Amino acid sequence: CMGISDLLKNAGYTPEVSTVGDKPILKGVYKVMFVEGKVNEPNQYGQSYTAKFKVVETMAGNDSRSSFPEFVGFFAIDEANAMSAKKGIKKLLNGFFSVGITLDTSSDEALYSSLDSQKGSAELYVSGYKKKAMKQVDGNWVENTEADAKQDFAFLTAKNAVKEAEKVKAKQGHPL
């Protein structure tokens, strides 16, 4: 009769780190619902608006098993960064516009009110991907392999979401 050590050896066992509690990075194309948004207090980086999106449909890629909003964006609303295509509120507004939703930008109050009115009903499309954690070493930005990778996403039109989903599925060898 074989002992445990023989069984482990014969099975080619190698220890693995537990992944319990890890938040998997969603990579793929998703239809999401706008579920939460709020203006944050200003900090040393300026001021931002947090928008949270919950996956309602996985079009391609790995499925979410989270009961919490999977995609969270911090969009700058301070004068210096609000119009940045990468990190400003402009990016969020364009995400809504990409699915035919025009938000009222006649005043700050009107904008936040029109965003509030979209909570729980506005469906958008996003491409989810892993954002590498970066750090500065000797004045250069390099990947920080010690830090956890972060979830990132980009907004898509419905048409491009379908195209991107087909590309992802083709790469994975799924029949379309």
Q: Strands 134-137, 140-143: parallel, antiparallel or unpaired by DSSP? A: antiparallel
Q: 3-class SS at 103?
A: coil
pLDDT at 22: 64
Question: Would you call 115 helix, strand, or coil by DSSP?
Answer: helix
Task: Give the pLDDT confidence of 25-53 residue by residue, as tens digits.
Answer: 899 999 999 999 999 999 888 899 999 99
Q: Are 133 and 147 in contact (CB under 8 A)?
A: yes
What's this model's pTM, rounded to 2 decimal places? 0.78
